[in-house]
């Protein structure tokens, strides 16, 4: 492990299903003229038009390298499950809180692909870890109709805290699984990933409704709450529409509502939700230059980020151009789903670095500026082995001792998408993902 840690810190940066369904997906892709080999839809899109300085690149490399280290050190080498959270000062030791998160594991599989592409981790050991993770989740991890429990014992896979079988967290895992399938040139990884995806019974999670249930519990059945308004839910519907084995009809894409928020001259589709809801599906699905019958969702997230920054700056007692960004995170009083606009939660001046980091591709200049300023001013207290603390509040002299896997994940993935578009390009090599977007009615923006 000592040799591996040295490699991580010193490595240089570098760059079965129903046949008819598969035929439909392939036909849709062919008719749309989709370049499947490159993962680009329709006319394709170029890299983000933003020039990174050497200082920007250095900062982002630190953020990614140290964030990827969390997903390596704080994952079980036996199961591949990544911890929900860990302390940021462990010097390489494993956190004694052994609760894994299925979503954190999905982000982790993607982070391992990034780390491999950048040379942060030894290739052979990275491939072995991905194989172990997929093998465990296919053959040993408790599941129901292909869906997994939100939180589990990291070494056992057993359900924790009477949590739900989660549709969104399973979807985040699947995005990581499909990223690994597309990135690693390994027949075993491809086969395991395909079997995990094909096992998921999407119509079952509809439970007879027009929108997906948020989950299921063995004691009480399906949760009453549904994924029925715009948020991070896009990945659920697209994964289900694209399923080669248990699909739902493309019409389900239009079943969730798209409410509009207006704030300070900005107008955009959003529920009353934290900023991360505009980021998660975008980490994998490349919505740039694409729109459906309702919106250009990439530009929608750009506007949502601008509105969020303006919202933060409307609290000048706390926030400034060098200190802004709130999303669901830890706080001094426990985990909180806060943000705005409109205001959510008891906002107290705490800042959450993953808010800006998760929006790096949407508002690169503003997000890089605030992240670099926060590291420069408070890095001694708020930056540790895995990068930024999950949240901090300098005026209250509170710095979270922990990092949280999903916040680390969105930060690492979006930083890489800004730098190279690697996650987008890799994920969109999956035929099912491209075809799902086409079946949902996506086309080149402006057409």
In this prediction, residues 102-107 reach a mean pLDDT of 98
Indicate the Cα dihedral angle 15, 290, 18, 250, nearest 10°: 150
Q: How confident is the model at residue 447 (pLDDT cuts 50, 70, 90)?
A: low
- Residues 327-385 pLDDT 10s: 999 999 999 999 999 999 999 999 999 999 999 999 999 999 999 999 999 999 999 99
Q: Nearest CA to 145 among 196, 81, 104, 189?
A: 196
pLDDT of residue 445: 87
- Residues 210-225 pLDDT 10s: 999 999 999 999 999 9
Instruction: Please work out, in degrees rounded to the nearest 5, the angle formed at the alpha carbon of residue 362 by the alpha carbons of 12 and 265.
Output: 155
Where do runs of H (alpha helix) occur along 200-233? 202-206
Q: Is the pTM of this model over 0.85?
A: yes
47 pLDDT more than 80: no
- Residues 298-328 pLDDT 10s: 999 999 999 999 999 999 999 999 999 999 9
- Residues 123-165 pLDDT 10s: 999 999 999 999 999 999 999 999 999 999 999 999 999 999 9
Calpha distance 337→136 (Å, rounded): 32
pLDDT of residue 25: 38
Calpha distance 16→180 (Å, rounded): 19
Q: How confident is the model at residue 46 (pLDDT cuts 50, 70, 90)?
A: low
| Pair 134, 189: CB distance under 8 Å | yes
Fold of the CATH domain 2-444: Glycosyltransferase (1.50.10)
Q: Which of 24-38, 105-119, 166-180, 249-263 shows the lowest per-residue confidence on average (mean pLDDT)?
A: 24-38
- Residues 5-34: b if buried by 16+ CB within 10 A, e if exposed: eeebeeeeeeeebeeebbeebeebbeebeb
26 pLDDT more than 70: no
């Amino acid at each position: 492990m000592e040799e591996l840690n040295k490699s991580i810190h010193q490595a240089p940066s570098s760059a079965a299903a129903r046949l008819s369904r598969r035929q439909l997906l392939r036909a849709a892709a062919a008719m749309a003229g989709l370049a499947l080999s490159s993962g680009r839809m329709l006319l394709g899109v170029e890299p983000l038009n933003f020039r990174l300085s050497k200082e920007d690149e250095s900062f982002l490399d630190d953020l990614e390298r140290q964030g990827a280290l969390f997903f390596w050190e704080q994952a079980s080498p036996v199961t591949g499950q990544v911890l929900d959270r860990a302390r940021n000062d462990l010097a390489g030791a494993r956190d004694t809180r052994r609760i894994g998160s299925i979503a954190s594991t999905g982000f982790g599989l993607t982070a391992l692909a990034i780390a491999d592409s950048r040379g942060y981790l030894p290739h052979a050991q990275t491939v072995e870890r991905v194989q172990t993770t997929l093998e465990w989740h296919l053959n040993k991890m408790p599941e129901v109709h292909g869906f997994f429990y939100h939180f589990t014992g990291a070494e056992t896979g057993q359900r924790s805290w009477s949590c739900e079988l989660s549709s969104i967290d399973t979807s985040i895992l699947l995005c990581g699984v499909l990223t690994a399938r597309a990135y690693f040139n390994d027949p075993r990884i491809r086969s395991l990933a395909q079997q995990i995806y094909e096992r998921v019974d999407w119509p079952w999670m509809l439970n007879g409704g027009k929108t997906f249930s948020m989950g299921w519990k063995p004691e009480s059945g399906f949760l009453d709450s549904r994924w029925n308004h715009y948020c991070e839910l896009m990945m659920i519907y697209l994964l289900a529409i694209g399923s080669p084995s248990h699909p739902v009809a493309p019409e389900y894409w239009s079943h969730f509502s798209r409410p509009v928020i207006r704030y300070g001259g900005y107008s955009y589709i959003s529920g009353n939700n934290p900023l991360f809801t505009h980021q998660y599906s975008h980490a994998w699905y490349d919505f740039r230059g694409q729109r459906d019958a309702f919106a250009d969702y990439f530009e929608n997230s750009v506007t949502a980020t601008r509105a969020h920054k303006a919202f933060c700056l409307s609290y000048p007692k706390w926030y400034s151009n060098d200190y802004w960004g709130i999303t669901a995170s830890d706080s001094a009083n426990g985990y909180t789903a806060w943000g705005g606009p409109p205001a959510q939660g008891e906002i107290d001046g705490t800042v959450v670095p993953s808010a800006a980091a998760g929006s790096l591709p949407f508002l690169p200049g503003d997000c890089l500026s605030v992240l670099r300023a926060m590291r420069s001013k408070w890095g001694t207290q708020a930056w540790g082995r895995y990068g930024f603390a999950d949240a901090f509040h300098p005026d209250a002299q509170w710095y979270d001792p922990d990092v949280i896997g999903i916040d680390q994940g969105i930060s690492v993935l979006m930083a890489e998408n800004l730098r190279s578009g690697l996650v987008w390009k890799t994920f969109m090599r999956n035929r099912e993902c491209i075809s799902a977007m086409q079946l949902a009615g996506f086309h080149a923006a402006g057409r």
